[in-house]
Each structure stands twice: as C-alpha cells, then as structure tokens.
C-alpha cells in the first residue's frame, strides 16, 4: 500500500468542485475520462476504435444508505504512479491534442454531489490493478499538510490481458441521487458527446434495475438534406478601427468547422453549439463575449441546429462551460460576424414562407392595436427579446441585433439605434415607421401553409420569427374559434379575439425575464385581457 498526496489548496479543491452545479455535467466528466482513456485505440482516418469500447453508467440502490452511481469502461485504464503525487492543474493530458482532460479537476467534481469516490483500474497486460478511495473528509486539514489517500495494489492472473476502470460514487448529499434521471442523463450525454458517438465501435449504456438505455448520435439528416458547411482556415481581427484595416491569422493546421442544418417546418429547439474535441462546450447564443449581429435569426432560431468545432483554436475554462479570453477568441468571433450574412441567407432560404396578402387589412388593424398596447405597457415590462435592428449603412459599425424592448430603441450594447428597416425579408411586408421604432413586432396570418410542428410532431398554433408572430389559419384550434358562416365567410368573434390575444402574449411572455411562480400566471392572464381590449374593434369583421 502506498500513500498518495494531492497537491493543491485543500479547501479550494472542495470550493471549486461546487462550480459543477449540474449533476449530469458531473457524470459527463467521468464518462469523458473513459473516452480519453480509449483515445490511444482511436484511428482518426477510419473514425473507429481498434476494438469495441463500452462505457456503462449504473444507478443502483439497496436502501437509502447504499445508493451508488458506477461508471465502468473497458478502455485502457488510468495512468497511476505508485510513488508519485496528484497535482491539480498539472494534468498529464493537458499537452495531449487528442484527449480532452486539461486540469485534473474533473476527477474531484464528485465533491459537489457526494462524499466519497472509489476507483479501481487496470492497464492492459499489467500484472497488477490499483484501488483507492477519496473521501471529502481528507480535505478538512490545515493547508500546510497535503490530503492523502491509500493506493492499494492487487495482483492479477498472468493470463489477464484486460484493461478497465470502475468509478463508484456514494454517500450522496440530500436530494442529489434522486435528481439523477437516466432518460435525462442519456439526453445530456447524447448532446454533450454528439461527435464522439458518431465514431465506430463505441457505445455508452445506462442501467437502473431492469432498465437499459443506450446513447445514440444525433442524426442531422432527419432534419434536412441541405446543410451549411464551411471550413475556416484563416481568422481576421481588426488591426486599426480608424483606418479600417484587418490582420489575418492562419489556423489551417486546426481549421474551424461550421456545420448547420435548418428545418423548414419543425421547431427543433436544439440551438447550435461550440464543440471542442468532439464535446459540446456551450450554446453559441449564450456566449456573452460573442457580439453576434444575428443572435435570434441564426443562433437561437428554433429551426436551426448544428455546431461549430473550435478544436485547437479556443481553450475551454476548467468547468468547460465557456472559453478563456484570448486573441484567437476575439478573432474567431470577429470572423463569424463577417460570415453571418451568408449564414442568414441560407437560413432564410430554407425557412422562407410565402404569405398571402388576403388578410393585409385585418393584419394592419391588429398591428396598430398591438403597437398601441405595447406603447402603453412599455414602462412596466422589461426587455423581452432581440429584434431585427440592422443598419442600412455600410455595416461597419459594431452593431448587434437589437434588443426588442417594448418601446425601446436601444441595442444590447446600450447604444441608441434606429430601426430603419423598410421591409422585412422573411415576409416581404412593409413595416410602418412608428411600429419599427416602438416595438419591431407585427402579426401575420399564414393562410396557405399547414402549421409547423414541434419535435413530437404536434402542430404549432403560431411561431415567432424575426419580429413576426405568425398565426396559422389552418390550425384546427384556429378554425374552431372562427367558424365559417352560411355565405362562406369567416367572421371575428370574441373567442377568435381571445385566441389571437393568447398567442401574441404567449410569445411576448416567453421572451421576458423570468418571473416568480406566484405571480407569472396572474400577469399572463392580465396581459391577455389587456390586449384583448385593444383588439375588440375586430369583432364582427369578415375575412
């Protein structure tokens, strides 16, 4: 038996582990270690492993005290130095371009959800296996002493050529074990390791009692056969804002890869992400440092999904939820902004809706009423969405897609901007100047097409695209609220007006800042009634 020491500030180890607030992200860390352990068996040319790799996550319980989560793999085993020490932030994988580990902190992420981690591991052809246990209590000592754990060696048979690792998490904090749902874990792992799961000869399995699930890679071809793909081998950054000159950076050794697909008739609600070494880091729309000009029309568009691979370009933070600020980070974001018009054209072409002008008069009345409603409520409602605010000048200013505030003309950078769009490209409809400035929101009825659907195939009553709330006339719920008269005309009734009010407020409220659960429903109903009052003049009108 050997004594192993852990080199780091003792209390800080426990404190930094608390940065892992998501139980699924914690379990992903251990699955990630298993994938790293199998990397020497992976052939990039064939995108396959030289032998079958299986990673299994098992949730088991025998009473309240014997609850465990076990992560096992048949990869290459952990690198153990019997006479060495474990130094956090000096991981031996940091300089390895193939593995994802960098800091050595992920191994201690268990401290955020449980008290104890037990590890058993064996390298291939080794005559011994190693076992050790790390308990939270070993860190409760003065900083002038190093935490220690016992490393046990166990002899194995000469014929045992296997390699594996088994990690067991136990003594869970209150509520943390119950928080782990295998279906949710499967979904998270599928999203987090989507490119890894495309490799051949690897599978990740989840087990609980008699229930077994397997993670599958995401099939983009089911969304669309068309895709936006681009390899970026050169980044650009501003050399002089005054002289408007740029400097180029060659990244051809590790090019940035963009892959996006767009659904023309389904809300995917799976926003594009940044990926590093095959692992998801963060949704592109959630990166504050990325001053996107098209955040809502591309990166948070519910019909768009995909990824941007930044392997070898950006460096994730220790919790792998963001990136470190570097010159390459700024250059990449600047380069992406230059590409956004091209990407936006692709998205708009894939989601183009051909509207009828049949209901223009009714739509104009609704939009006037909506604008009046927003003018009245603008002082009481927080910012709720991003709008189409793009300068029609040369575009050299560092504008962002403006925040669509009720009655506000400020963009996300806090600078005043004028919404001077004359026409919206998606619908090709004139936008009144007053409406542009006050709200940027308008209503349009789709009388031609069948409703878009969600991922479950359920028809949507309405959708929100580029400042337009599109209400589907052909949705059964709408037709039930506006029955056809004897002479073949449709006529607005009170229930029709209520239906429209509900759809509009649903989209406005979904984009608002979070409200407390005790008053959000009251505010929603109040907003519906208020807007309904502005639309009352529609009653009796025929279409």
Q: Are 443 and 484 in contact (CB under 8 A)?
A: no
Assign residue 45 a region (left: φ > 0; alpha: ψ between -120 and 50; beta: otherwise): alpha
Task: Compute the distance between CA of residue 257 and CA of residue 227 in angstroms, rounded to an integer.
Answer: 13
SS3 content of the chain, % helix, strand, coil (to 5): 30, 30, 45
**pLDDT of residue 226 exceeding 90:** yes
**pLDDT of residue 415 exceeding 90:** no
Which range among 36-45, 126-135, 350-359 shows the weakest confidence by mean pLDDT?
350-359
Which range among 151-155, 231-235, 400-404, 527-531 shows the weakest confidence by mean pLDDT?
400-404
In this prediction, residue 86 carries a pLDDT of 59
Task: Compute the distance between CA of residue 501 and CA of residue 370 in angstroms, rounded to an integer.
Answer: 9
Q: Which residue has the higher pLDDT, 355 or 84?
A: 355
Which range among 50-64, 67-81, 166-180, 235-249 shows the weakest confidence by mean pLDDT?
235-249
Span 229-270, pLDDT tens digits: 999 999 999 887 676 788 999 999 999 999 999 999 999 999
Q: Are 196 and 166 in contact (CB under 8 A)?
A: no
In this prediction, residue 304 carries a pLDDT of 97
Residue 392, burial from CB neighbour count under 10 angstroms (0-12, 13-18, 19+): exposed
**pLDDT of residue 539 exceeding 70:** yes
Task: Compute the distance between CA of residue 489 and CA of residue 317 in angstroms, rounded to an integer.
Answer: 61
Residue 519 per-residue DSSP state: T
Question: Taking residues 109-123, what's their average pLDDT?
Answer: 93
Strand-pair category, 2-7 with 86-87: parallel
Task: Compute the distance between CA of residue 414 and CA of residue 246 in angstroms, rounded to an integer.
Answer: 26
In this prediction, residue 472 carries a pLDDT of 94
Structural domains of the chain in order of their starting residue, each with its CATH number? 2-217 (3.30.565.10), 221-350 (3.30.230), 360-538 (no CATH)
In this prediction, residue 252 carries a pLDDT of 95
Q: Are 27 and 185 in contact (CB under 8 A)?
A: yes
Q: Which residue has the higher pLDDT, 294 or 241?
A: 294
Give percent of the chain above pLDDT 70.
Answer: 79
Q: What pTM did the predictor assign?
A: 0.74
Q: Are 402 and 417 in contact (CB under 8 A)?
A: yes
Going along 413-452, which residue ranges are E strands? Answer: 423-424, 429-430, 442-446
Quote the mean pLDDT of the chain: 82
**pLDDT of residue 477 exceeding 50:** yes
Task: Compute the distance between CA of residue 462 and CA of residue 445 in angstroms, rounded to an integer.
Answer: 9
Question: Taking residues 474-497, what's their average pLDDT?
Answer: 82
Question: Taking residues 356-365, what's their average pLDDT?
Answer: 87
Would you give the end-to-end CA distance of the chain in angstroms? 85
Tokens representing 289 are 């440092």
């Amino acid at each position: 038996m050997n004594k192993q020491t852990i080199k780091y500030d003792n209390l800080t180890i426990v404190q930094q582990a608390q940065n892992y607030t998501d139980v699924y992200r914690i379990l992903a860390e251990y699955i990630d270690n298993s994938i790293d352990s199998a990397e020497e068996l992976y052939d990039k040319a064939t995108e396959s492993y030289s032998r079958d790799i299986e990673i299994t996550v098992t949730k088991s319980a025998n009473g309240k005290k014997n609850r465990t989560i076990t992560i096992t793999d048949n990869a290459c085993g952990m690198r153990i130095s019997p006479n060495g020490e474990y130094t956090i932030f000096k991981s031996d994988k940091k300089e390895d371009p193939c593995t994802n580990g960098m800091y050595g902190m992920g191994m201690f992420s268990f401290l955020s959800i449980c008290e104890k981690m037990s590890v058993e591991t064996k390298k291939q052809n080794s005559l011994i296996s190693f076992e050790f246990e790390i308990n939270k209590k070993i860190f409760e000592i003065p900083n002038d002493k190093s935490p220690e754990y016992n490393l046990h060696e166990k002899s194995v048979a000469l014929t045992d050529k296997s390699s594996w690792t088994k990690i067991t998490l136990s003594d869970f904090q209150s509520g943390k074990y119950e928080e782990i749902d295998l279906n949710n874990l499967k979904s998270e792992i599928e999203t987090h390791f989507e490119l890894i799961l495309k490799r051949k000869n690897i599978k990740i399995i989840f087990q609980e009692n008699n229930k077994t699930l397997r993670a599958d890679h995401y099939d983009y071809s089911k969304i669309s056969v068309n895709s936006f793909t681009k390899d970026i081998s050169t980044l650009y950054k501003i050399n002089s804002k005054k002289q408007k000159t740029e400097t180029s950076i060659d990244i051809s050794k590790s090019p940035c890869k963009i892959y996006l697909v767009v659904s023309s008739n389904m809300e995917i609600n799976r926003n594009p992400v940044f990926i590093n070494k095959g692992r998801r880091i963060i949704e592109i729309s959630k990166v504050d440092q990325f001053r996107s000009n098209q955040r809502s029309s591309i990166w948070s568009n519910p019909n768009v999904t995909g990824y941007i691979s930044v392997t070898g370009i950006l460096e994730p933070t220790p919790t792998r939820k963001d990136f470190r600020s570097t010159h390459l980070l700024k250059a990449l974001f600047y380069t992406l902004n230059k590409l956004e018009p091209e990407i936006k054209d692709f998205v708009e072409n894939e989601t183009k809706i051909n509207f009828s002008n049949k209901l223009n008069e009714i739509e104009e009345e609704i939009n006037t009423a909506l604008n009046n409603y927003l003018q009245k409520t603008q002082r009481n409602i927080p910012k709720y969405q991003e709008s189409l605010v793009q300068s029609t000048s040369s575009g050299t200013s560092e504008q962002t897609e403006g925040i669509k505030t009720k009655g506000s003309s400020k963009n996300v950078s806090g600078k005043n901007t004028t919404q001077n769009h004359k026409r919206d490209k998606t619908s090709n409809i004139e936008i009144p100047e007053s409406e542009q400035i006050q709200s940027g929101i308008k209503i349009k009825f789709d009388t031609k097409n069948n409703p878009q659907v969600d991922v479950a195939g359920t028809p949507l009553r309405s959708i929100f695209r580029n400042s337009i709330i599109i209400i589907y006339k052909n949705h059964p719920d709408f037709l039930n609220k506006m029955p056809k008269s004897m002479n073949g005309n449709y006529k607005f009734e009170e229930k029709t007006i209520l239906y429209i009010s509900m759809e509009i407020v649903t989209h406005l409220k979904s984009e608002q800042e979070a409200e407390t659960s005790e008053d959000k429903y009251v505010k929603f109903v109040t907003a519906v009634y208020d807007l309904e009052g502005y639309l009352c003049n529609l009653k009796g009108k025929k279409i």
